[in-house]
Amino acid sequence: MRPSPRHPILALLLVVTLVLSACAAPAPSGDAGTQPAATGQGRVTEVGTPRHETLIVDSLNGRIDNPMQMNPYMAGTQFNNGLHQLAYSNLWEMNTITGEQFPALAAEMPEPLNDDFTKFRIKLREGVYWSDGVELTTEDMAYTIDMVLNTPEFPYRGALSQIIKSYEIIDSHTIEIETVKPEPRISFRLGVVVWGNAFRIIPKHIFEKENVVTFNNYPPVTSGPYVVKDVDPNGFWFLWEKREDWQRTDVGMIAGEPAPKYILYRFYGPEERRVIAGIQNDLDIFTDIVPESWEILKERSEYARAWFPHFPYANLDDPCERGIAFQTQVAPFNQPEVRWALALATDAQSVSLATFAGMLRASPLPVPPVAPLQETYHKPLRQWLTDFAFEDGYKPFDPDFAVKMAETLRSQGVEGIPTDEAAIIDLFGVGWWRYDPAKATELLEKAGLSKGADGKWLLPDGSPWQFSINAPANFEVQSQRLAFAVADAWRAFGIDVNVQQMEAGTFWSSYNNGTFTAGSYWPGCGVAPDVFQQMYSVYHNSLIVDVGTPAPGNAIRYNSEALTAILDELAPIPSSDPRTIELHTQFMKQWVVEMPWLPMFGTSKFVPFIAYYWDNLPTSDNAYEGPWWWWSLFKYQLPKYKPTGRL
């Protein structure tokens, strides 16, 4: 029998490993550990930097198999080890607490030059320099546009070609662009709305000398406040050093001097080793850990901090939600009855408990249940969801999910569960779909499937219905555990499904190329109420390409004339227009009817930090930003970090 994805033996493994490691010699390079300095000036890291000057960050994507590929437009480049967070800045960045954009490399928000939003003036911030001392100008931006549009090998080419029609350089810091169609949200299209943006200005004087299709861009000349100092050729760590001229970056001008001199992205391996590294003060900022690990970490380290100091501990407002995505060009997932059947065959409460001990906020909509979107869409649509019915009159929504989840956790002795229904909904969501295997059976039979003598489902041609759920391996633990929990539920329903764990490169390549059947992915993202850009990139028909071809968007290849029509109506309307929310609400309702994929829960981020060497990181009591260090805005948080002075 395979171990549960909740790792019931994690605590025992951790205790044993701690005992063994207590008398172990310092680890060699490539393994966990910092070492005492011979000079008595404090510890040094395994890569030779002073520990008190080095911020050690967990590796979001595990070990990277192409660590020196740093061309931001080349397929397969991995960004989450500093390239995205430290090396490049965007034209416009997003504060995810307020949902407001602010100018970054741009000096101001884009200026519309006509009433139909097809011409814009963009001014770049003066005084920004590349790390090699060359000034960043509109020549770089123009070259980036031309390079991408003229390089079909770049996956982003398809998306950019639908945005920019032409441009004119006015001066060294002013450029005017004409768009293919009205783009009232041009700052969203070419700037940050959630994690980051694919449009990154690159240095013309570097790339114009190379074959950009094969150019790895290592080490990169950066516009951000850090440069690469060293990289492990095996992909276990990436060391970045603060630029001496950090003042000549947008971060320096906007936020001030980043506190850490060095930032080390480090992959320690399995979760228990990461927890040990934190307890030993060898890891400052974690990527996801499970609730059980957090319990151990906070018990063994007085410096461990989570977003909340009490239940649910994790931050529940990560602007991407988790669920099961389907390749909708593959039968039988092209049939809405099948997708709905899978929803009703899922006991969401059991899945929540198995995934993150119930510390999850349910989502029945294609946008995450973060606070601004809860208030704009989830709560206002709760009654509509309750009344929503299939053609036969069946109502699939369960508005009592949150109350039942609260009752279950209280019965388990969990403290801090609110009793007020409004507070319960704030914590656990507005509801989810009913657990109704009988109705799920009816829907599958309507779609032509049947059950064999062994109780397992057969496809319409009589062959076994077998498929895999792609899941992350050694990263994004909520999605990993969710895949196992959902697979358990579907197997109990008679579906022959297994979980295929994948390293980051393979996991995302399968998604972007459409070479998956189902996957524990997260297509639903958003922060601000205007989520047009996110919905467009996931559902617009114009972005559909053949399976096997890298997608510029719409990776699930979902073809909906109704959703596309609403997006087309939204496209020319600015965010400030009241019709924006009305049309988005219409989009949400139509989306529920079609159910392109199965969103389940907002993302709960157990991303604790160890306040031994560094403090003043964001928490619920100090929420100057969310704890999203893997996003492009990380560089703007760094000036707020405070060294503790411990050596």
CATH class of 89-207: alpha beta
Give the whole-angstrom CA distance, residue 288 versus residue 285: 10
Report residue 256 as tokens. 């001030």
Residue 554 has pLDDT above 70, yes or no: yes
SS3 122: strand
Report residue 47 as tokens. 């890569």
SS3 191: coil
Q: Are 167 and 176 in contact (CB under 8 A)?
A: yes
Q: Where are the domains of the chain?
A: 27-83+224-313+606-643, 89-207, 315-450+465-605
Portion of the chain with pLDDT greater than 90, in percent: 81
Q: Cα-Cα-Cα-Cα dihedral of 76, 77, 79, 84, to 10°?
A: -130
**Angle between the N-to-C axes of helices 10-22 and 271-279, in degrees from 0 to 180, rounded to the nearest 10:** 50
Nearest alpha-carbon partner for 475 in 250, 580, 630, 261: 630
Q: Are 251 and 86 in contact (CB under 8 A)?
A: no
* DSSP per-residue string spanning 396-454: -EETTHHHHHHHHHHHTT-S----SHHHHHHHH-S-EE---HHHHHHHHHHTT-EE-TT
Give the whole-angstrom CA distance, residue 432 versus residue 548: 33
Contacting residues for 204 by C-beta, under 8 A, at least 6 apart? 139, 140, 143, 144
Nearest alpha-carbon partner for 625 in 613, 616, 614, 637: 637
Task: Find residue 326's DSSP bridge partners.
Answer: 518
Report residue 41 as tokens. 């000036």
Quick: pLDDT tens for 486-543: 999 999 999 999 999 998 889 999 999 999 999 999 999 998 899 998 999 999 999 9
Q: What is the pLDDT of residue 100?
A: 84
HEC secondary structure over 52-114? HHEEEEECCCCCCCCCCCCCCCCCCCCCCCCHHHHHCCCCEEEECCCCEEEECCECCCCEECC
Quick: pLDDT tens for 392-406: 999 999 999 999 999
Q: What is the pLDDT of residue 23?
A: 38
Q: Is the dihedral of CA 456, 514, 521, 79 positive or negative?
A: positive
Residue 12 has pLDDT above 50, yes or no: no
Q: Are 71 and 216 in contact (CB under 8 A)?
A: yes
SS3 506: helix
> From its phi and psi, is residue 118 left (phi > 0), alpha (psi between -120 and 50) or beta?
alpha
Q: Are 638 and 258 in contact (CB under 8 A)?
A: yes
pLDDT band at 38 (very low <50, low <70, confident <90, very high): very low
pLDDT band at 60 (very low <50, low <70, confident <90, very high): confident
Give the whole-angstrom CA distance, residue 266 versus residue 62: 9
Contacting residues for 528 by C-beta, under 8 A, at least 6 apart? 94, 99, 100, 193, 372, 575
Q: What is the pLDDT of residue 40?
A: 54
Q: Are 420 and 314 in contact (CB under 8 A)?
A: no
Q: What is the pLDDT of residue 626?
A: 87
Domain 315-450+465-605 sits in CATH at: 3.10.105.10
Angle at 556 between CA 506 and CA 431, to 5 degrees: 105
Contacting residues for 38 by C-beta, under 8 A, at least 6 apart? none
Q: Are 123 and 173 in contact (CB under 8 A)?
A: yes
Q: Are 544 and 559 in contact (CB under 8 A)?
A: yes
**Angle between the N-to-C axes of helices 561-570 and 579-594, in degrees from 0 to 180, rounded to the nearest 10:** 170
Protein fold of 27-83+224-313+606-643: D-Maltodextrin-Binding Protein; domain 2 (3.40.190)
Report residue 14 as tokens. 């951790």
Quick: pLDDT tens for 83-94: 999 999 999 998
Higher pLDDT among residues 162 and 458, named by residue:
458
Residue type at 468 in one-letter notation: S
pLDDT band at 36 (very low <50, low <70, confident <90, very high): low
Q: What's the predicted TM-score (pTM) here? A: 0.83
